[in-house]
Structure 1
Amino acid sequence: SLTKLHTLSISNNNLKMFPLALFFCTHLVTLDISSNLLEEISFEDNEITQSLMLTELYLSKNLIRKFPLHLQKAFPRLSKLDVSSPKGPIPLSSSSPSPTFAFKSPMMMQTSLLGILSLMACKSE
């Protein structure tokens, strides 16, 4: 059983889907899933994801074009998100709304377009 696992790197594995089995690693703090073929991060926001200890999520060098708006709610302890160096184009069309992240806790997000964004402490709704 991997329930006590704290850090996991599954980078460079040509993964096309976010491995949902990781939600059973309830003590996982750091997850590096960079340099894969992920096009989206898809999962349900529920009690299982909210109970995770995940604080760092590395998703750089994937094909991800959009993120679920409930990312911070699904992972309430998340403090670092790396989405730098995407492999595919990032849509910059003015007709499509850009995603808004409302984080309840300070968060550092690294992107290839903006570098490291300053810590964001947004008001909780």
Structure 2
Amino acid sequence: MTLRLADVQVGTELPERTFPVTRADLVRYAGASGDFNPIHWNQRVATSVGLPDVIAHGMFTMALAGRAVSDWTGDPGALVEYNVRFGRPVVVPDDDAGAEVTVRGKVGALLEDGGVRVDLTVTAGGEKVLSLARAIVRLA
């Protein structure tokens, strides 16, 4: 079902989404994106440059939050603008569980042009990983 503008108001909350992230996901994302930087798959390299372990691609983390918004609208084409600042990396341990990225969102404003600003909070391991994460959606 596609979300309609009449269904939202300032303060409307998106359903919380939690996405598992494993090392296998990072390898698949590297293949799709062409970003084979070894900090995203090789623990030795990651720790040698001062990271605690392998980290998820920032754009992969950003994509998960974008997915939460487009799933909420029911229409991927409704997402017309999206901005984040990368705050902290998502550390992905080499185990079956991996990491979890949790996305929460709330309608922050109804815009004069009919858009809806969605303010996002994106965390992993209890830490905010994306800052100033905001999406603009256009709803029918």
TM score, norm. by length of structure 1 = 0.27
Bigger radius of gyration: 2
Structure with greater contact order relative to length (CA < 8 Å, sep ≥ 6): 2
The structure with the greater share of residues assigned to helix is: 2
TM score, norm. by length of structure 2 = 0.25
The structure with the greater share of residues assigned to strand is: 2
